[in-house]
Structure 1
Amino acid sequence: RIELFGDEIDSLRPFSAESQRAHEEVQEARILPVHDAADEAPQRSTLADHLGRDGWVVLVEPAEIRRQAESLGDRTATAQGTLSAREAFASLMSRPRVDLSSLPESEATTTLHLAVESVARLSGNIQRIRDELDQVVSADHVLVACPGTGETNRLGEVLATGQLAQSDRLRLVPGFVRAGFRLLRQGRQGVVILGSQDLFHREVVGGVIPGHTTRSTRKVESRAIDSFLELTPGDLVVHVSHGIARFEGMELFDRTQARGQTGVANAAPVKAAEAQAAAGSAEEHLVLEFRDRVRVFVPISKINLVQKYVGASGTLELSRFGGTAWQKKRERVAEAVIDLAADMIQVQAARAARPGRAWPPDSHWMQEFEATFPYQETPDQLSAMIEIKADLERPRPMDRLVCGDVGFGKTELALRAAFKVADSGGQVAILVPTTVLAEQHNRTFSQRMAEYPITVACLNRFRQPSEQRQIIKGLSEGTIDVVIGTHRLISRDISFKDLGLVVIDEEQRFGVEHKERLKLLREKVDVLTMTATPIPRTLHLALLGIRDISNLETPPPDRQPVETRVTRFDEELVRQAILREMNRDGQVFFVHNRVHDIKSVEAKLLKLVPEARIVVAHGQMDGDELENAMVRFLHRKADILLSTTIIESGLDIPSANTIFIDDADMYGLAELHQLRGRVGRSRERAFAYLLVNPTRILDADAAKRLKAIEEFTALGSGFKIALRDLEIRGAGNILGTQQSGHIAAVGYELYCQLLDNAVRQMRNQPLQEPIEVNVDLGWPGYLPADYVPGQRQRIEVYRRLARVRSLETLADFRKELRDRFGHIPTPVEWLLRLAEVRIRSDAWKIGGLHYDRSQEAFNKLDLVFAGRDPRRMQELARRDPRLRLVDNTNVYLRPEKSERDPEAIYRLIIRALG
């Protein structure tokens, strides 16, 4: 953010794009070009040319480097300003060089054979790790490289027992090694260097162990789902009092011209410059169009009455201004919401009264199990786990919903909850919507729990009938602790010996009959439901106290946004993108959602990339065949998985970081977002290509969807993407499909307000009413277009200001405006003063301030404080002898002639209200 004084730079301040707040000033900013090479570079140089004279070059596996460099050179041969592989190597060869190779290089002048041998990974079980390390430490010095202080502390706690705690031959050091090895030293003890992943059987993801951060890693900020501020002309809006209208824009009016025009308004707009000169009476208005082209001008002081409409898609009829239909519709929804709140409170009370099973506090094994988590937990994961454990340890059935965008760590919460219950002797059922996801979870749960006496099984249509019978028998006899499966798990022929916890993944994807069975389960056992549908904060807050919800809003550390590109199908682009992924040892998803011609797509891909190994997967395949295809891809025996949308839910393959979605215009936003979430699950940069048929003409809605998915690539952007698809689906998932109809009737935000009020009413809590103080004193308060450029941005600032409820928050808001937009001009100063007067007035239960001009002919002008509470008005009148109480509700203040300018009136009001 560059602030100028004349033509000189006054200050340079970096700022957060998310919060918009600036950091401390810097003395300089280095701004680099956005492209790789200058169009007309005077001379070309390589990276090696910029090394000092004494710089050494180290090549790790030179033969492999040459192979990859030549492949890269072929792909960039036409690019301007790039070096060929031969030129790049020539610049390196003239320097002192060390080649590190697993095989001798014939051209090396001197070859040194390092006495190094690999070491086997340790067992993964905590006690065995201690025993094995004891043996290793007795013969060698041991260094364990831990990626980050969190891992170092966790491992230190796990190993801080017995002889290891006293040994000076074992050290935990910050760092990373891909695999453990032993340095042999003749006549001396060797040195064993291990990575922490060698102890716990973790996989190295994307080149480094998860959780390891580098200096270049940038923290990606995430924002909770808040409200719908981004209004553009043409959008549908809801006026709380009058109904659904179309937003036409904003206009600045002279207040004297616009006064009283709430119906069909013909007030002439004036230019900002003219309005400022119009004796301080300018105010900005939202222009709304109702049915029959009735235009209504809403002053920005009433902006909290207008919300963006988020509800039913398709055409929607505008409301008639001044009619009764809207009020009746709103009353119907309010009644439905009260019934819903009453039902939910009743269910919660019944559950609280019903005896349940209190699981014991964490055992030592539970702590060890958590220590083996191969990633760094996010703050949201940690707080959600605390909430889940607290629920499990209470003597009543748990019913908690965990919401989080794709890839935000819901599976780990399910793992820990399942382990806690199974470790305490209960059985756990994990319900998932697809057989593919069941297989994936089975592998994950089995691997993580392998070192503990916990039996994991998977029940789905892939299993042979004899195997299914064996699993069902094991569940009834109690020999199986954790079972993962599809709706087959809640069939009537299945019984558990001691079912303690049910984890449901994406409940909305199960049928009505299955949901009824789940409802019965909720009465008896602990239930943890997980959904990738983000829950907007407005709904989350409205449900607080009647529904236990944990929201995961923070992306995992080191995760990068997926680079998304919408393009017509282009054979060369597809080939190059696949080769790029294969060259970095990655894998590719290719989604084609028509089974009848999926084989022809396979043939086309084989022709494009003959060097790639392709497997095909779709829901109509035989169970064994589908399982084999998925296992081959999971075990990296295939480069491309060509599949239908069966990969949409929960599939987690960190090595797959490129996805093609064929005929992307045929998908909904939510589906595209879920499919894109299959990649970008490691530290590698991931790519999503949304392919459109070259011959197809896109309709407007499809183009909008693709533009939205391409625009919103930030982590956790599910909430923005889904203004319609995810938001309404999310509300319906939690509240029931009937409520989706009520949301469509009045819009999402108003529905949440009505629900919040209903819940508060049921619980005898004060309603969260917005500050409603009508200040009609002719003060020129607005945001000039040259101060806050852009209509959307101005609306956002106005709405945020309307929600300020305290003087402390207002002071922060003032600082933010100064920080973001510079020195505060006079109209903005008056806007902030109006907000201050409203806040102070609301504290005295004052509903409005205006002038009583009835005696203006006698040169008398009264300032009227119109009260809502007689007792508070009496208290106010006693504060100042100049204040006169009239008819118990209004307090009058008569300014002197010298006190009638806006500045003096403002000071009088602040003095009176304190």
Structure 2
Amino acid sequence: MSICAQSLRLDREYAQIWDCLGTQMRQNPLPIVVSGMPPVIEKAFLDAFISDFATTYKRGALVLVKDDKTAIRMTAHLQGSGLRAYRFSERELNIYNITASHENEHERLLVLARVQSGDFDAVVTTPAAALRFTMPREVLDRNRFRYGIGDVIEPAELAAALAAMGYVRVETVDNVGQYSQRGGIIDMFPPEEGDGEKQPYRIEFFDNEIDRICVFDRMTQRVIENRDDLELLPVREVLCDARALAVVRKTVKDCLAKCETVDAREELEKELAAIDGGQPLNFTDKYVAQIYPQKECLFDYFDLRTAVLLCGTNAIRDRLEATARYDGELIANLLEHGVIRGGHAAFSAEPARAEHFFAANVAVHLNTFAVGLAGERIGGMFAFRCRQLASSFKKYELMKEDLTGFIKNKYRILLACRADAEVKSLLEALGNDGIQAVSLGEGADIEDLIPGVVYLSVEPLECGYELSAARFAALTLSGGEEEKPSLVRRKSKKKMKSGQKILSYADLEVGDYVVHTAYGIGKYLGIQNLTVGGVSRDYINIQYAGTDKLFLPVDNLDMVSKYIGAHSDDGLLKLSKMGGGDWQKAKSRAKAAVKDMAKELIALYAERMRKSGYAFPADDKMQHDFEAAFEYDETDSQLSAIEDIKRDMMRPVPMDRLLCGDVGFGKTEVALRGAFKAIEAGKQVALLVPTTILALQHYHTALSRMRNFPVKVEMLSRFRTAKQQKEILRSLKRGETDMIIGTHRIISSDVEFKDLGLLIVDEEQRFGVAQKEKLKQMAKDIDVLTLSATPIPRTLNMAMGGIRDMSVLDEPPEDRLPVQTYVLEHDNIIIGEAIRRELARGGQVFYLYNRVESIEYVAARIARENPSANVAVAHGKMEREEIEEIWQALIDGEIDILVCTTIIETGVDVPNANTLIIEDADRMGLSQLHQLRGRVGRSGRRAYAYFTYRQGKVVSEIAEKRLAAIREYAEFGAGFRIALRDLEIRGAGNLLGAEQHGHLDAVGYDMYIRLLNEAVLEEKGEKLPERKECKIDIPLDAYIPDSYIYSSAGRMEMYKRIALIETEADMEDVADEMIDRYGEFGKPVKNLMQISLVRHMAERAGMSLVKVENGEIRIFADKFDLATWAAVSFAFKNEVRIITAAKAYVSYRPKKTEDPLRALTRIFAKYLEEQQADAENTEQK
């Protein structure tokens, strides 16, 4: 427990409150009223009270706060104090038949399970969340299971239970709420608590007995660790069993019978069709009162008397009434539109239910000022004598005055710091001023604090305070701002493994484009099993131009990759002609282009290495203080990028580093660390941005971060008057301005620096050719850091290693609420309601309509429907100044609804815009939707995204596929990797430039990277690994039976993995994976793996054909290395022989019990060993 929380126990009021609580717990309880509770004391009180309550009464308390934002902060604070505190979040109702995301349902169900088990210290919630109807206790109990090793249950029974709990069956499980079954193996992804990336579970059966329970990696599908047991919870709050389904169907039929409007009839008919068609029901919230006639809410889960802490009595009661009003308005709206009948409409308990719950338990009202409970008897009224100290934020002298007074009066004194660096610097400063100060270790007790001595500790404290009765004072230099939830240190999210492929072959579907290294671009038609000469093999069927088809043996699948490029999902890609010259020409052009690029980049890199630049000194105390003042935990990739930049800056050659990362991944903070380092060394910094509005945003960020340090930051853009610009230019020339932020105005000829040390360029690709040339001149001998908001593929980063310095931010921030996403046919009722709700909470709306010619008409319609809202329009054909004025008005809150095109993709941060509506989402790619969705949800508020498509529209096959992907993306977060992949390819295009991007599109991403890797190695003078294709002709069944892996996508993925087997270790690894995922396999699968291994070994040995004929192994090559084969023959006692026939070959006749594939593996292993030894001997000579 924190020292601040312990300090309250020294106050007599706390002891009296505790005595009063004991009395109320033993009798008919009466409320307790506590005042003198400013927020800083309220947190300390809750820490102490909840800890003591859990210890004394062996049960958890309920904490009610006014809104979700406060609940997030309070939960984070209590968890940071070591308490088992959980937030029961507000849940959005889905009352229409539209696809929605379910993250907060999972969170709520986890909390309900905790409360049901009594396994918690505190639940923090809001009135709206607590009153919302939820799954009744008895239903949760019935749908909650724990399984252990040795338990007996039929696999089919478990699969049926998962379906009943709301899990959706899929082929490959990679998101919460999914399950799959492959015979006696069931994968499932239940909701789980905790930081970091969640992982799914696998249960393996022996007949009907659970033989193994394990956690597996959602990316690789490989087992991570074994477990003894597993708890399964539902993944939907509203479960619809057969009884409930019949009730809902009758209710819908009743509504239809009385329905009077066309829109309502359409809506109800869709619902009826979904019920009768056995489709997922997305509208069950509308009928929650019929599905769960018990009408239970969170309060019903507390069966033992408990303490209910109300943080702000009047605010809580206002919110209780507001929840009832909101539900009333929603129901009235639904009744008006005719989609529900009065007797069926109820979504939350009445406020009286909350008051009844307060009365049945011990309600503790916490308020800053004394608040009476009108007409109610109370058990006790108490007041803390607490004085909140005036903020001394970064004002050491003011704080020292306070300390001197407290020391004189023999107070126990705590000085709360944000980081260890601040503790060290303050200890030194206080010591120099003759004040006795000591660093306080973790787990210290308040009794250890000697009165009159200042104790320093790292803990979050938003402002100082004095408890006069306890003779205790807490001060801070780090507060003075509203506390951020992430002050409680969070764990870094797991990153994708470095070996993760950019694309899983499980994503490959019939109709997708593929690239064969020799034959070019074709269309994948599926897997086909062919029996030739009594031997069964699987082949990949690829359609080329005209009637040409290629049947490729699956063990050659490493010759094929999925096409990733500009036309991968629009049907416009031209197929290659087998035997034609077009593919070879395209490949040759791309090869020549990447060779030129590699040559140029290597030359530039070498030239830069020859130049002398300024070597910045190592970090000092002020740099540490600047970094310690950052209020969030850096992600691992941020820390890595910061190290890269500092290391470059400290070298005596000019830095030229590219920093890539998605919007909101923290590039600005990384850049500012470098900027501060340069300023500290007496150098000037220029930050160049493409738009004035972005300059303004960066200016405010830099001012905020550097305001407590002796740094002068200025901005140069059209927002400055001529007089101001003149003064800024003079200041720059004299060296009085340390950092200048601005548009291309910075690179004008009249701008002179006294000593420029670092140039930071944001979104370089958005500058013109002339501007880029000026940049090159300006950056000739100084350090340059370029920022890009589009991520790039890891494989491209690796390919360009050593010729372009790049740092990649690949971890998103974790302190934001997920965006509630919906996919639906465009419906004016739903969209109108979404807009009204956002405006009602004082927020702003992005309405994306991507047709410039009719955008004004759409804006006029929206303005008519929302007469009190200020509606504006933004699109790419407007003048730049006009767009920037609109962005500024949006940031200033003057615009309520912005009707816009995809121009907002490259806009600025608008934290107050938290609803996004997109028309014709089916026309956009998943990556574009993913990036657009990132425009909302940039604050502590819940954000909403509505992806809509036209009603009754007959969509193309490609658009239908895209729409299905969007639905899955919205519901499960599935497709995130695909979205990111597509986004990365766009990033690759931005980085490489238009010409190279054209070649990338012509041959596909994978082929382009292969060519780039070869070009880089060649230009560096390194030897290219030779690869000669070898054909394997062995009469053995070699395929994956569909009875072993049911799905063709799953088989395709494993075929790809098998085709990449190059070593015995690879083969063992793939075999382990297949057993993990699908169980034991038969001889055809084993043969397939060994054939792949033999093929790769034969290719490394330079062989062209391996065949087995009449029991004899024959190995062919264009040219034999006789010395090496002689050594192999000697090792095999001359049983391996070279036969000099018309076409020479190596012969080996296996013994009757010997497996020919194992024999080949031994032969080639010995050959490669001899070859390696010979190469080493030659090198030594």
Q: TM-score, normalised by structure 1?
A: 0.84
Per-residue deviation at 1:380? 1.0
Structure 1 unaligned blocks of 5 or more: 257-277
User: SS state of the match for residue 351, structure 1?
Assistant: helix
Alignment of 1:706-717 (within 5 A): 708=965, 711-712=968-969
Residue type at the aligned position of 2:892: R
Per-residue deviation at 1:528? 0.9
Query: In the TM superposition, what whole-angstrom CA distance separates every residue of 1:690-709 from its partner, at most 9, and x where no partner exists?
Result: 34566987666666666555
| Alignment match, 2:539 | 285
Alignment of 1:722-871 (within 5 A): 726-767=983-1024, 773-838=1030-1095, 841=1098, 846=1103, 848-851=1105-1108, 853=1109, 856=1110, 861-864=1112-1115, 866=1117, 869-871=1121-1123
In 1, the alpha carbon distance for the partners of 2:420 and 2:1044 equals 50
In 1, the alpha carbon distance for the partners of 2:574 and 2:321 equals 62
In 1, the alpha carbon distance for the partners of 2:538 and 2:1008 equals 27
1:189 equivalent to 2:442? Answer no
| Alignment match, 1:106 | 373
Q: 2:723 aligns with which of 445, 450, 466?
A: 466
Per-residue deviation at 1:543? 0.9
1:873 equivalent to 2:1140? Answer no
Cα distance change of structure 1 residues 799 and 901 upon mapping to structure 2, 3 Å threshold: closer
| Alignment match, 2:349 | 83
| Alignment match, 1:418 | 675
User: SS state of the match for residue 1131, structure 2?
Assistant: coil
Cα distance change of structure 1 residues 739 and 646 upon mapping to structure 2, 3 Å threshold: closer
Cα distance change of structure 1 residues 646 and 234 upon mapping to structure 2, 3 Å threshold: closer
Per-residue deviation at 1:849? 2.9
| Alignment match, 2:108 | none
| Alignment match, 1:721 | 979
In 2, the alpha carbon distance for the partners of 1:653 and 1:889 equals 74
Alignment of 1:347-362 (within 5 A): 347-362=604-619
| Alignment match, 2:824 | 567
Cα distance change of structure 1 residues 626 and 843 upon mapping to structure 2, 3 Å threshold: closer
Residue type at the aligned position of 1:721: A
Per-residue deviation at 1:807? 3.2
Which one is further off, 234-243 or 809-818? 809-818
Alignment of 1:611-760 (within 5 A): 626=886, 629-633=889-893, 647-649=904-906, 651-654=908-911, 656-661=913-918, 664=921, 671-681=928-938, 685-692=942-949, 708=965, 711-712=968-969, 720-721=978-979, 726-760=983-1017
Cα distance change of structure 1 residues 174 and 452 upon mapping to structure 2, 3 Å threshold: closer
Q: 1:27 aligns with which of 221, 229, 252?
A: 229
In 2, the alpha carbon distance for the partners of 1:723 and 1:9 equals 38
Cα distance change of structure 1 residues 389 and 668 upon mapping to structure 2, 3 Å threshold: same
1:119 equivalent to 2:396? Answer no
Q: In 1, are the aligned partners of 2:594 and 2:1012 still within 8 Å (CA)?
A: yes
Cα distance change of structure 1 residues 211 and 360 upon mapping to structure 2, 3 Å threshold: same
User: SS state of the match for residue 332, structure 1?
Assistant: helix
Per-residue deviation at 1:132? 7.4
Per-residue deviation at 1:411? 1.1
In 2, the alpha carbon distance for the partners of 1:849 and 1:212 equals 60
Residue type at the aligned position of 2:467: L
In 2, the alpha carbon distance for the partners of 1:131 and 1:768 equals 69
| Alignment match, 1:227 | 502
Q: How many residues align?
A: 865
Cα distance change of structure 1 residues 895 and 573 upon mapping to structure 2, 3 Å threshold: same
| Alignment match, 2:1150 | 895
Q: In 1, are the aligned partners of 2:389 and 2:466 still within 8 Å (CA)?
A: no
Per-residue deviation at 1:331? 2.0
Query: In the TM superposition, what whole-angstrom CA distance separates every residue of 1:486-528 from its partner, at most 9, and x where no partner exists?
Result: 2222233323222221111111111222122223334232111
Per-residue deviation at 1:757? 0.3
Cα distance change of structure 1 residues 694 and 248 upon mapping to structure 2, 3 Å threshold: closer
In 1, the alpha carbon distance for the partners of 2:979 and 2:780 equals 35
| Alignment match, 1:301 | 555
Alignment of 1:513-532 (within 5 A): 513-532=770-789
Q: 1:330 aligns with which of 587, 598, 602?
A: 587
Q: In 1, are the aligned partners of 2:388 and 2:466 still within 8 Å (CA)?
A: no
Cα distance change of structure 1 residues 699 and 41 upon mapping to structure 2, 3 Å threshold: closer
Cα distance change of structure 1 residues 755 and 42 upon mapping to structure 2, 3 Å threshold: same
Per-residue deviation at 1:72? 3.1
In 1, the alpha carbon distance for the partners of 2:838 and 2:1144 equals 74
In 1, the alpha carbon distance for the partners of 2:566 and 2:1165 equals 49
In 2, the alpha carbon distance for the partners of 1:48 and 1:544 equals 58
Residue type at the aligned position of 1:648: E
Q: 2:478 aligns with which of 199, 205, 211?
A: 199
Q: In 1, are the aligned partners of 2:420 and 2:458 still within 8 Å (CA)?
A: no
| Alignment match, 2:808 | 551
User: SS state of the match for residue 383, structure 2?
Assistant: coil
Cα distance change of structure 1 residues 912 and 592 upon mapping to structure 2, 3 Å threshold: closer
User: SS state of the match for residue 906, structure 2?
Assistant: coil
User: SS state of the match for residue 205, structure 2?
Assistant: strand
Alignment of 1:144-163 (within 5 A): 153=420, 155-157=422-424, 159=426, 161=428, 162=431, 163=436
Query: In the TM superposition, what whole-angstrom CA distance separates every residue of 1:824-853 from its partner, at most 9, and x where no partner exists?
Result: 3333222333344345556655555322x3
Per-residue deviation at 1:472? 2.6
Cα distance change of structure 1 residues 30 and 627 upon mapping to structure 2, 3 Å threshold: closer
Cα distance change of structure 1 residues 300 and 144 upon mapping to structure 2, 3 Å threshold: farther
User: SS state of the match for residue 822, structure 2?
Assistant: strand
| Alignment match, 1:263 | none
In 2, the alpha carbon distance for the partners of 1:223 and 1:640 equals 41
| Alignment match, 1:48 | 299
In 1, the alpha carbon distance for the partners of 2:757 and 2:551 equals 59
Structure 2 unaligned blocks of 5 or more: 1-201, 245-290, 332-344, 441-448, 1170-1181
User: SS state of the match for residue 670, structure 2?
Assistant: helix
Q: In 2, are the aligned partners of 1:159 and 1:165 still within 8 Å (CA)?
A: no
In 2, the alpha carbon distance for the partners of 1:54 and 1:652 equals 47
Q: TM-score, normalised by structure 2?
A: 0.66
Cα distance change of structure 1 residues 9 and 624 upon mapping to structure 2, 3 Å threshold: closer
Which one is further off, 577-586 or 21-30? 577-586
Residue type at the aligned position of 2:565: G
Query: In the TM superposition, what whole-angstrom CA distance separates every residue of 1:431-452 from its partner, at most 9, and x where no partner exists?
Result: 2222221111110001101111
1:68 equivalent to 2:319? Answer yes
* Coordinate RMSD, CA, aligned: 3.9
User: SS state of the match for residue 199, structure 1?
Assistant: coil
| Alignment match, 2:643 | 386
Which one is further off, 763-772 or 610-619? 610-619
In 2, the alpha carbon distance for the partners of 1:608 and 1:29 equals 49
In 2, the alpha carbon distance for the partners of 1:282 and 1:158 equals 75
Q: In 2, are the aligned partners of 1:220 and 1:715 still within 8 Å (CA)?
A: no
User: SS state of the match for residue 285, structure 1?
Assistant: strand
1:249 equivalent to 2:515? Answer no
In 2, the alpha carbon distance for the partners of 1:170 and 1:282 equals 82
In 2, the alpha carbon distance for the partners of 1:813 and 1:904 equals 17
Residue type at the aligned position of 1:185: S
In 1, the alpha carbon distance for the partners of 2:1034 and 2:404 equals 84
Residue type at the aligned position of 1:237: V
Residue type at the aligned position of 1:180: C
In 2, the alpha carbon distance for the partners of 1:719 and 1:4 equals 31
Cα distance change of structure 1 residues 680 and 85 upon mapping to structure 2, 3 Å threshold: same
| Alignment match, 1:261 | none
Residue type at the aligned position of 2:502: S
